[in-house]
A and B are shown apart, each in its own frame.
Chain A
């Protein structure tokens, strides 16, 4: 158990809909990262938050947004969903600095029909 929790574990929805994925980091970790894993794109970094503020953006679509709340949990919002958004979405947390490993949650598998 990595200590990072994600809900829900599975999500099935239709094109055009909006969903929210939730993540709680490990106790004490201020950084939260969101990643998308798909067959064609592999594992891609989407966005990072540090102590409530956006720190870095990766290949995140404009239809996607995220936030980190005062209790440090984070939510990833995906809107106007398309078939190609079907993927495994991971949240990870870590202590600061490049020398610290990131601990991954179990992931949310999103299926867009």
Chain B
């Protein structure tokens, strides 16, 4: 079965600092996608970044980068230069063929950015 593990319930960071949110995954699929979503207090789910299992380069989207280590089955999200607006819940998710291409989510990490 597919599983996503996020071991950090909460993280605290100061503005302008970088922060890494951990994510490990388990799957027997050879082809899969790894995704990070942000959920602010307003509740919507915002797509941040994606990494394909066959991508050799780590994905980057602006201040977000995904540190993909396939052998270790980890897909950590790195946010550079944190901003107050980054305070939110962050979910790591995986999409493979086992669940009909649905997303399997981790339990999330709450990020708090202070000034």
Which residues in A have some Cβ–Cβ distance to B below 8 Å? 2, 31, 33, 35, 42-45, 48, 55-58, 88, 90, 92, 94, 96-104, 106-107, 109
Known interface pairs A42-B108, A99-B33, A101-B35; A33-B103 also in contact (CB < 8 Å): yes
CB-nearest residue of chain A relative to B48? A101
Minimum distance in angstroms from A106 CB to a CB of chain B: 5
Interface SS, B side: loop
Beta-carbon contact of A98 and B44 below 8 Å: no
Instruction: Name 28 interchain pairs, CB-CB below 8 A, sorted by A.
Output: A33-B102, A35-B103, A42-B106, A43-B91, A43-B103, A43-B105, A45-B99, A45-B103, A48-B100, A48-B101, A56-B101, A58-B99, A88-B43, A90-B45, A98-B29, A98-B32, A98-B97, A99-B31, A99-B52, A99-B95, A100-B33, A101-B35, A103-B47, A104-B37, A106-B43, A107-B43, A107-B44, A109-B43
B31: A residues at CB distance < 8 A: 98-99
**B: contact size bracket:** 20 to 34
Q: Which of B99, B101, B105 contacts A42 (CB 8 A)?
A: B105
CB-nearest residue of chain B relative to A100? B33
B32: A residues at CB distance < 8 A: 98
B103: A residues at CB distance < 8 A: 33, 35, 43, 45, 92, 102
Which residues in B have some Cβ–Cβ distance to A below 8 Å? 29, 31-33, 35, 37, 43-47, 50, 52, 91, 95-97, 99-108
B50: A residues at CB distance < 8 A: 99, 101
Beta-carbon contact of B95 and A98 below 8 Å: yes
